[in-house]
Amino acid sequence: MEISVGHTPDSDDAFMFYAMLTGKIQSNDFAVKHVIGDIEDLNSRAKNPELDVTAVSVHACAYIPNYTILRSGGSFGIGYGPIVTATKQMTIDEIKKSKIAIPGKMTSAFLLLQLMIGKFDYVEMNFSDIPNAVKTGQVDVGLVIHETQLSFEQEGVMKILDVGEWWDKETNGLPVPLGINVMSNKFGKDVIKKFDIYLKNSIEFALEHDKDALKYAMQYSRGKSEELIEKFVKMYVNPVTVNMGDRGEKSIRKMFEMAREKDLVPEFEIKISEPLD
């Protein structure tokens, strides 16, 4: 069957889908129609819903009841995650009183920062524009995701908070839940599991042929060096990406449990695909 599959123009997503989209691995069950979209665009499209399979922020799962979370393909930080940047050191109280640039209100980074410091005044913008907006004084503080977590110093700003470190300490080492892939419930659990295994196989192939997969992923480097992109990909394509397992599932459930306690998300049922093991 032909299915539409959306992923972001980010090097870690490209790495994961490399084998699937280049025909390095084959499926007798699926013919993939490839769609690219920014994470906030994909989050919004999933609310309709438009795509059969799509990457979304974990936070978005609170608003997309027609999808099931896949166990493969998740972006989880292992002791690291989004960071907060400014041009000078600031206290938590000063940060909370500042206008903070965020990469979208459905991103997991936004929810995690709210869990960390409480509600705050924010302005949405494309994640790649945030460092310059902070540097030029357009905003006081920036919430940074993707490879700009590694390049912020080159962009003339400094790290003042580490959301990933906070989560790691707060949850006794659970991985930081950031992005996942979801599949429409209309396919049923058996078909969803089949695609989950297909994506898992694509990721495992990329890890086994990492040089070729990184070369493919460089088309989404946004001008960053190959060294930085390799570091970023290796951070976010890790064992929890291959199969989230119990730890990945616990981290997702923990984030939403904390968010519901603070009335940051509505009540909803978390749907996760059948175990892959």
Each domain of the chain, given as residue ranges in start order, spans 2-76+176-261, 83-170
Task: Report the SS3 class of residue 97.
Answer: coil
User: What is the number of other CB atoms lying within 10 angstroms of the CB of residue 99?
Assistant: 13
| Full pLDDT tens readout for the chain, 277 residues | 999 999 988 899 999 999 999 999 999 999 999 999 988 899 999 998 999 999 999 999 999 999 999 999 999 999 889 999 999 999 999 999 999 999 999 999 999 999 999 999 999 998 788 888 998 999 999 998 865 555 556 666 789 999 999 999 999 999 999 999 999 999 999 999 999 999 999 999 999 999 999 999 999 877 778 888 888 889 889 999 999 999 999 999 999 999 999 999 999 999 999 998 7
Task: Report the SS3 class of residue 223.
Answer: coil
pLDDT score, position 228: 81
pLDDT score, position 215: 95
> Taking the chain, what is the end-to-end CA distance rounded to the nearest angstrom?
25
pLDDT score, position 223: 76
pLDDT score, position 146: 64
pLDDT score, position 225: 82
Q: For 184-275, where are the alpha helices, taking DSSP H only?
A: 188-208, 210-217, 226-236, 239-242, 245-261
Among 96, 106, 93, CA closest to 42: 106
Domain 83-170 falls under CATH 3.40.190.10: yes
pLDDT score, position 182: 98
Q: Two tokens at 115?
A: 């869990």
Contact 45, 54 (CB under 8 A): yes
Same fold yes or no, 2-76+176-261 and 83-170: yes
Buried-state track 135-144, b at ≥16 Cβ within 10 A, e below 16: beeebbbbbb
> pTM of the predicted model, to two decimals?
0.93
Tell me the fold of 2-76+176-261.
D-Maltodextrin-Binding Protein; domain 2 (3.40.190)
